[in-house]
Amino acid sequence: MVSQLQSSNDFDHINYARSFAATQEKPFSCFQFVTHVLAQNAPLAHQELMKNHKIILQNLPAEHCTQDFIPYYYSLLPFPTLKYWKKIEITDVLSGDVLIYIDNAYNPDPLSRADNIPSGTHVAFVDTVLSNNGTDCLKLKLLDSSNRVRGRLLCHAEKEPPGTGCVAYSFAKLLFRNSTNSWDIKFDCQKLLTKKYTYAFRILKKVK
């Protein structure tokens, strides 16, 4: 039997991420940060992720493979068969869930991307649901590592991160676009990101 985590007090991975942010000593990519937090505070979910990582790599062309669990790989997980992960609707997202987005023009081959063009993907923890109309508009407070600086706040201080690759709070407004079946995302103090395929996942735990 599996139970969804319902109280923010249960989100050990979120609490750990906040503590980790306060003592961060080196830059992290978004996926390195999430993987680190899962390994330390959601070990069963992390083990399941790593097990499926090997399977995913076996079914991808070599140029799409990386030893890091990048955001793109979350979209390839076989969720009906997983014990500790559940794919959910974006509008059902709660504190503690994992959120990813992938640009509609995402190229999974890093060697063939144009110079200085970012991958167009991101992964983050949902810290707080600030507003949700239940259909096509959400405002979320995310806990993530990012190259963005403007519009973000350090978890342990009300100020912007000192540089890129810092763990901090990000504030995002998500708008669903029926015409493209994707989401537009507006981070505070950043340009609008359009046509992002966006997914949300919940980490589950066993009931004793």
Q: How far apart are CA 33 and CA 7, in angstroms?
A: 23
Q: What is the mean pLDDT of residues 48-67?
A: 94
Q: How far apart are CA 128 and CA 136, in angstroms?
A: 17
Q: Is the pLDDT of residue 208 over 80?
A: no
**pLDDT tens profile 130-165:** 999 999 999 999 999 999 999 999 998 889 999 999
Q: What is the mean pLDDT of residues 35-64?
A: 94
Q: What is the mean pLDDT of residues 84-90?
A: 95
Q: Is the pLDDT of residue 77 over 90?
A: yes
Q: Is the pLDDT of residue 121 over 90?
A: yes
| Secondary element (H or E) of residue 49 | helix 43-58
Q: How far apart are CA 156 and CA 134, in angstroms?
A: 31
Query: pLDDT class for 113, splitting at 50, 70, 90?
Result: low
Q: Is the pLDDT of residue 204 over 70?
A: yes
pLDDT at position 131 is 97
Q: Calculate the average pLDDT of the chain.
A: 89
Q: Is the pLDDT of residue 81 over 90?
A: yes
Name every residue whose Cβ is closer than 8 Å to that of residue 23 and which is 6 or more positions away in sequence.
Answer: none
Q: What is the mean pLDDT of residues 69-86?
A: 95
CA–CA distance from 163 to each of 26, 150, 160 (Å)? 10, 10, 8
Tokens for 178?
């029926």
Q: What is the mean pLDDT of residues 190-205?
A: 94
Query: pLDDT class for 108, splitting at 50, 70, 90?
Result: confident
pLDDT at position 104 is 87
Q: Is the pLDDT of residue 25 over 80?
A: yes
Comparing 12-16, 70-74, 175-179, 202-206, the range with the smallest average pLDDT is: 202-206
Q: How far apart are CA 189 and CA 28, in angstroms?
A: 21
Cα dihedral across residues 125, 86, 181, 75: positive or negative: positive
pLDDT at position 86 is 95
pLDDT at position 2 is 32
